[in-house]
Amino acid sequence: MKKTNNKMQLLLLSVVLLGTTACTGDFADINRNPNEVTDEQLQANNYKIGTNLKTLQGLVVPTEEHRFQFVESIVGCPYAGYNGKTVDTWQATFENYNPSADWRKVPFVDMISDTYPAYRAIINGTEDVVAQALAKLFRIAIMQRVTDSYGPIPYTQVMASKTESLEVAYDTQEEVYTAMFTELDDVIASLQDNLSLPSDAFGRYDGVYSGNISQWLKFANSLKLRMAMRLTEVKPDLAKSKAAEAIAAGVITTNADNAMMHTSDNRTTLIYNDWGDHRIGADIINYMNGYNDPRREKMFTTVTLVENGQEIQGYAGIRIGINVTSKAQAVSSYSNMRVTGTDPYLWMNAAEATFLRAEYELRWGSAETAGTLYEQAVTLSFEERGADNVKGYLSDATSTPAAYKDPLNKHSMASPQSTVAWNAAADFETNLERIITQKWIAIFPLGTEAWTEHRRTGYPRLLPAVVDNSGGAVNVALGARRLPSPVEEYTENPTNLQAAVSALNGESVNGAGDTQGTRVWWDRKNLN
Split at pLDDT 50, 70, 90, the class of 265 is: very high
pLDDT per position as a tens digit, 370-386: 999 999 999 999 999 99
**Predicted pLDDT of residue 413:** 62
Q: What is the dihedral of CA 50, 52, 58, 63, to 10 degrees?
A: 100
Give every CB contact of residue 54 below 8 A, 6+ residues apart in sequence.
205, 206, 207
Q: Which residue has better confidence, 441 or 166?
A: 441
**Predicted pLDDT of residue 240:** 98
pLDDT per position as a tens digit, 503-520: 999 999 999 999 999 999
Lowest pLDDT segment from 129-138, 318-327, 404-413: 404-413
Split at pLDDT 50, 70, 90, the class of 224 is: very high
Mean pLDDT of the 410-433 span:
87
- What is the rounded CA–CA span in Å between residue 77 and residue 83? 6
**Predicted pLDDT of residue 415:** 65
CB of 397 within 8 A of CB of 422?
no
Share the mean pLDDT of the chain: 90
SS3 string of 216-264?
HHHHHHHHHHHHHHCCCCCCHHHHHHHHHHHHHHCCCCCHHHCEEECCC
Peptide bond into 416 cis (omega under 30): no
Rounded to two decimals, the pTM is: 0.91
**Predicted pLDDT of residue 35:** 45
- What is the rounded CA–CA span in Å between residue 159 and residue 116? 8
CATH architecture observed for domain 7-268+342-457? Alpha Horseshoe (1.25)
Split at pLDDT 50, 70, 90, the class of 394 is: very high
Annotated domain spans of the chain? 7-268+342-457
**Predicted pLDDT of residue 411:** 67
Model confidence at 163: pLDDT above 80: no
**Predicted pLDDT of residue 103:** 94
pLDDT per position as a tens digit, 447-493: 999 999 999 999 999 999 999 999 999 999 999 999 999 999 999 99
